[in-house]
Amino acid sequence: MDHSSQDKNQDTEPATCNMQAATDNNHKAHKPMRAAADSSSKSKPAIRNRRFTIASSGNIGETNASSLGDVAVGRRRSTTYAEANSSPRRRSLAYTDLMAVFYPPNTLSQPLITESPFEETVAGDSASWEPTLERAIRSIVSIKAQCVRSFDTESSGTYTATGFVVDAQAGLILSNRHVVNPGPVVAQAVFVNYEEVELEPIYRDPIHDFGFFRFDPTKLQFMAAEEISLAPHKAKVGMEIRVVGNDAGEKLSILAGTLARLDRTAPEYGAGEYNDFNTFYMQAASGTSGGSSGSPVLDIYGDAVALNAGGSSKAASSFYLPLTRVVHALELIRHGQPVPRGTVQAELEHVPYDELRRLGLPVELETRARDAFPHAQGMLAVKATLPEGPADGRLRAGDIVLAVDGHAHVDFATLEAAVDAKVGERMRVSVWRGVAAHETELVVQDLHAITPSSYVEFGGGVVNNLSYQMARTYGVPVGGGVYVASSGHALGSAGAWRGSVVLRVGSSDTPDVRAFAQAVAKLHEGSRAPVRFFSLERPHKQRMAIMNVVTHWHALRMAVRDETSGLWIYEDLPRPLPVAQEEMQPMAAPSHLLPASLEPANRVWGSFVDVEFTAPFLVDGMRSTRFRGPGLIVDSSRGLVVCDRDTVPIAVGDVTVTVASSVVLPAKVVLLHPAHNFSIVSFDPRRLDGPPPPDLPVDHDHYAGNKRLEQGDVVHVVAVTGDQTPVVRQTRVAARTMVATAECAPPRFRCVNVEGVRLDDQPVCLGGVLCTGSGLAVGLWVSVSSQDSSGKDTTTMLGLDIALLRPVVDALRATGCAPPLRSLDVDLWPMRAAAARAMGLSAERIAQAEAAASSRRTPQLLYVAGLLAPNTPAAQLLNAGDVLLESDGKLLDDVSELAVVSAKAVDLVVLRDGHEISINVPTTELDAMETRRVVHWCGALVQKPYRAVLEQVRRLPSSVYISCTLYGSPANCYGLRPGMWIVEIEGRKVSTVDEFIETLHELRLSRCSSLKSGGSRYVRVTVVNKSLVTRVLSLRVDNHYWPPWRLELDAESPGGWKTIPHL
């Protein structure tokens, strides 16, 4: 949903711990790097090749007997428990009995993992791997997936990864949890022979980094799927392995390595990311990278001994998840049974014996543990507990786990098995704390119950229940509010960005998504409601902000995951009711006078308002969604307000006008001037009680165009800063010059063919007005947006003559409608007389230019610097470099005479190739709203090319222009990009948006019947890019998560736009 972006994603500090220095990353393909550190790293380097903030869960591993190593030769034999008890030191009966409880006799001889016979191959015997790999690659698939909505730790987007078949008959594929994804995902698997099958995400572990997809084996027509057996017991240090998968996005890569560790701490990927815990990981220097997530770690016999999950950014180290608990889950899924997962909301860590002694573990307990588990090198200890969880107040950080229900556990896998078997029940936990043993009873909570499986789409954003994953990272209680996975249009207006937790909306608490939906339903559409929330980065700092309740742009619905199919089922939610007209009571806007020391500002200050604009979609070349600046009331009886186009840049969006800093009124866009840098919006003046605000007082000579701002003029700047503080300053006009702006990427409006003024003393402000000493406006002080050579957005403050407003404002006052705006659609730029002389301009013409340049330092002429549209009459008749001499028989010395005209044609005299020629050039009518319709299809926002686009192409391929593609959508996944034109769909030519809609409608009808008979879900789309290069793309249509709709300009609808749910 939230595309653009347009969310302020809050980057988090990487977390660090105590044991190893290495940076980790999940092996999902192609995502911008995020900072994260290993759980043991003291530094904070960036991780490598991490596709998203992909949750990397791993399964609880085990410590293999061989992984802990044998006792070294020559080591002094530890004192046995029997020897300790026979020592002269007196032991109390209570202490002896306690030892027997912690380590009952029937557990002393139990090995941690039963070892199986294993034959190691001769190092370097590559021939022995050939049959193994030949069999294995038939089971390994390349996964391409789309995370269609931001959810929990995941962000919407597309990625590639790896999986492998573990049950060919049932069609089960094992991969990582961060591949299967906790949120809504659409995925396909590609086998080695390039057959593609649809995948259903049927299980993802709440904590560990594994999950299962399911496919239909009957859909494979040209090969039979084979499966890879899981053999976690075969892993041991020194084993030669092969990691086979989609490394770095390649179809198939085979990486060699040797298992070096079986008891590595779970890697950490940073705060706010998915992190595995309560498990061991394996480690080898296989150098895996993005795309290899979910690859099997194979032994010489072709069995999987581990699952590839992550890697280091500073070394070739790769991290593998042990498969013990994966095997357990797989067996349950095969038999159609749920996978029980329990938790007490406590994080454990494996602590070596030397540190355990420093924590207070008695020698006797260590001796007993070493004898019971001779291959273990430590025990489990409590690292942290979550507030308000089952273990809160009962377990403490540093507690050494001695036994659970009377059974000792020194590895994660056996302890997890014990906890999973007690879901909903009580269990006894014995720990050593400091100098004494303690025992407590804990209720085992269902881990699935605190893992979100639903979300609400609201105002273009997504919220879900606060998960255990996120709560654990930041140390906050689970269920303390709803997590903002994507802020969107509405929550973004309150500054509740991604990573926030919403506690209250309006007058209702929001502990979960159901309560959130009910709270939203109590609000009124178009109103403003308070929202209480906090950022997870600063959970102790709650904030209260005002949210614009706007739901008419987007769907308002709840999605719940179907655990059988993995599909998320939508349920429409009740929308906020519109405010009845009779309930809209007029509000008084108090007038505020400035101090006398700020004169002459008081005369114009009453006309100032604050204008805010929020764009729900990134159309017309927008890269941001929120804008704010000052406005000036030019007609209070009609509610007309003028502001710069850096404040209201496009027509698609919501506008509010704040009068006297106290009354917030909804407004609509009336006009976007296509050449000059101003917009006009209107509010309903009936919503104001008492005397209306005064119209902006203007100097009539300047307003009529009889005078203009010139170099040396004394003016008073009356402007505002971001906190609405007035700025009043007397200064002089430093220069009068052409406004210079560059073509932007993506293409967006830029101010052209306008002269502006610069001031000697330019204040730092948002904008305002230039006025005389008596307080009459002679110019607008505006912000002009552009880009520099590196593509970075820039703004420049300039003064524009007040006369530029007159044609538009007078027409709106007289008729209520914007006047017709026409232009030559050429970019004009001044030329010095010396340059014109070199081009063959006569001395007579130069003398005329000098006579007209009385107010300028040097005479100048105008020439065509470029064309603003490729398909206009001016583009056919005028050439770049033409010097314009006359317009309709008058000497042309002012660019404003041609920037916007009213005539349908202009008689020009131009200098071309040293000769003067006369040309009658038809003008082009410009749209005062620029965009009147937007179509959404498969995540692509399509519109008619707007003026800034036409300027940057030499030929228009069609009138079906892609202005934006949404993350995680089919358009984003299959190669549709902003800036492309669609010219054909399934071989049918589409030249206009109307033809595009009609073709999609016909295609949808035919596609429905085709799918029923087993037809393809893919559609061929022919596109042309800016360089006029043609490509044919195949796009998988998804009407479930990405239904088609269109926006159309409609004065009667909220915000001035109507949403039509179907094409």
Q: What is the pTM of this model?
A: 0.84
Q: Which two tokens stand for residue 859?
A: 């005479």
φ, ψ dihedrals at 476, nearest 5°? -115, 160
CB 687 within 8 A of CB 609: no
Q: Residue 192: which pLDDT band, with cuts at 50, 70 and 90?
A: very high
Domain 933-1060 has CATH 2.30.42.10: yes
Q: Residue 767: which pLDDT band, with cuts at 50, 70 and 90?
A: very high
In this prediction, residue 1007 carries a pLDDT of 64
Q: Distance (Å, rounded) from C-alpha 200 to C-alpha 186?
A: 8
Q: Distance (Å, rounded) from C-alpha 55 to C-alpha 275?
A: 6
Encode pLDDT of 521-543 as tens digits.
999 998 899 999 999 999 999 99
Going by C-alpha positions, the residue among 38, 28, 34 that lies closest to residue 9 is 34
Is the per-residue pLDDT at 71 higher than 60?
Answer: no
Q: Residue for token digits 């790999």?
A: 133
Q: Which residues lie below 8 Å from residue 86, measured CB to CB, with a gap of 6+?
A: none
**Vertex 247: Cα angle to 244 and 250 (nearest 5):** 105
Q: Which of 38-47, 725-734, 894-903 has the lowest mean pLDDT?
A: 38-47
Q: Which two tokens stand for residue 205?
A: 């572990």
Going by C-alpha positions, the residue among 506, 59, 124 that lies closest to residue 307 is 59
- b or e along 257-272 (b: 16 or more beta carbons within 10 Å of the residue's beta carbon)? bebebbbbbbbbbbbb
In this prediction, residue 690 carries a pLDDT of 83
The 10 Å Cβ neighbour count of residue 45 is 18
What proportion of the chain, given as a percentage, has pLDDT over 70? Answer: 85
List the domain boundaries for the chain: 24-62+120-334, 69-111+345-443, 452-465+478-578, 585-727+747-813, 821-926, 933-1060
Pairing status of strand 445-446 against strand 400-404: unpaired
Instruction: Annotate 467-533 with DSSP letters as a single string.
Output: PHHHHHHHT--TTSSEEEEE-HHHHHHTT--TTEEEEEETTEE-SSHHHHHHHHHTSEET-EEEEEE
- Chain center to CA of 29: 17
Going by C-alpha positions, the residue among 255, 3, 281 that lies closest to residue 140 is 255
Is the per-residue pLDDT at 31 higher than 60?
Answer: no
Instruction: Exactly one of 178, 375, 489, 676 is catalytic; name it.
Output: 178
Question: To 10 degrees, the CA torsion angle through 994, 995, 997, 1003?
Answer: 170
CB 395 within 8 A of CB 431: yes
Q: Which of 12-21, 276-285, 309-318 has the lowest mean pLDDT?
A: 12-21
In this prediction, residue 581 carries a pLDDT of 60
Q: Residue 665: which pLDDT band, with cuts at 50, 70 and 90?
A: very high
Q: Distance (Å, rounded) from C-alpha 792 to C-alpha 795?
A: 10
In this prediction, residue 247 carries a pLDDT of 67
Handedness of CA 941, 947, 950, 952 (dihedral sign): negative
Is the per-residue pLDDT at 227 higher than 90?
Answer: yes
CB 1040 within 8 A of CB 538: no
Q: Residue 856: which pLDDT band, with cuts at 50, 70 and 90?
A: low
Under DSSP, the state recorded for 230 is B
Domain 24-62+120-334 has CATH 2.40.10.120: yes
Encode pLDDT of 1010-1040 as tens digits.
544 445 688 999 999 999 999 999 999 999 9
Q: Which of 310-319, 935-944, 1049-1058 has the lowest mean pLDDT?
A: 310-319
Long-range contacts of the stretch 738-743 (C-beta < 8 A, 24+): 738/829, 738/830, 738/895, 739/677, 739/784, 739/798, 740/786, 741/784, 741/785, 741/786, 742/786, 742/787, 742/788, 742/789, 743/787, 743/948, 743/951, 743/952
Q: Would you call 292 a catalytic residue per the annotation?
A: yes
In this prediction, residue 592 carries a pLDDT of 77
H helix or E strand, kind and range, residue 504: strand 500-505
In this prediction, residue 87 carries a pLDDT of 36
Q: Which two tokens stand for residue 932?
A: 């009147």
Q: Distance (Å, rounded) from C-alpha 682 to C-alpha 655?
A: 9
Q: Would you call 991 a catalytic residue per the annotation?
A: no
Encode pLDDT of 585-624 as tens digits.
778 777 777 888 888 999 999 999 999 999 999 999 999 9
Is the per-residue pLDDT at 65 higher than 60?
Answer: no
In this prediction, residue 854 carries a pLDDT of 58
The 10 Å Cβ neighbour count of residue 294 is 32
CB 619 within 8 A of CB 650: yes
Q: Distance (Å, rounded) from C-alpha 279 to C-alpha 306?
A: 13
Encode pLDDT of 155-169 as tens digits.
999 999 999 999 999
In this prediction, residue 858 carries a pLDDT of 65
Is the per-residue pLDDT at 73 higher than 50?
Answer: no
Q: Would you call 178 a catalytic residue per the annotation?
A: yes
- Chain center to CA of 95: 58
CB 609 within 8 A of CB 643: no
Going by C-alpha positions, the residue among 421, 432, 325, 313 that lies closest to residue 368 is 432
Q: What 3-state class would DSSP assign to 112? A: coil
The 10 Å Cβ neighbour count of residue 541 is 8
Mean pLDDT over the full length of the chain: 85
Radius of gyration of the chain (CA): 35
H helix or E strand, kind and range, residue 535: strand 528-535
Burial class (CB in 10 A: 0-12, 13-18, 19+), 698: buried
**Vertex 608: Cα angle to 606 and 609 (nearest 5):** 120
Domain 821-926 has CATH 2.30.30.230: no
Q: What 3-state class would DSSP assign to 447? A: helix
One fold for both 24-62+120-334 and 69-111+345-443? Answer: no
Options 1.10.3470, 1.10.10, 2.60.120, 2.30.42; CATH for 452-465+478-578 is 2.30.42
Is the per-residue pLDDT at 12 higher than 60?
Answer: no
In this prediction, residue 218 carries a pLDDT of 94
Residues 484-500 have a mean pLDDT of 94
Encode pLDDT of 461-476 as tens digits.
999 999 999 999 999 9
Q: Distance (Å, rounded) from C-alpha 10 to C-alpha 498?
A: 7
CB 619 within 8 A of CB 652: yes
In this prediction, residue 10 carries a pLDDT of 37
In this prediction, residue 114 carries a pLDDT of 33
Pairing status of strand 577-578 against strand 524-525: parallel
Encode pLDDT of 390-432 as tens digits.
999 999 999 999 999 999 999 999 999 999 999 999 999 999 9
Q: Distance (Å, rounded) from C-alpha 445 to C-alpha 4?
A: 38
Three-state SS annotation for 648-677: CCCCCCEEEEEECCCEEEEEEEEEECCCCC
Q: Which residues pair with 796 in a beta bridge?
A: 784
Encode pLDDT of 953-990 as tens digits.
989 999 999 999 999 999 999 999 999 999 999 999 99
Residues 197-223 have a mean pLDDT of 95
Instruction: Exactly one of 292, 313, 317, 493 is catalytic; name it.
Output: 292
Instruction: Exactly one of 2, 209, 263, 1038 is catalytic; name it.
Output: 209
Q: Which two tokens stand for residue 947?
A: 């003026």
Handedness of CA 613, 619, 621, 623 (dihedral sign): positive
Q: In the CATH hierarchy, which fold is given to the domain comprising 585-727+747-813?
A: Thrombin, subunit H (2.40.10)
Domain 69-111+345-443 has CATH 2.30.42.10: yes
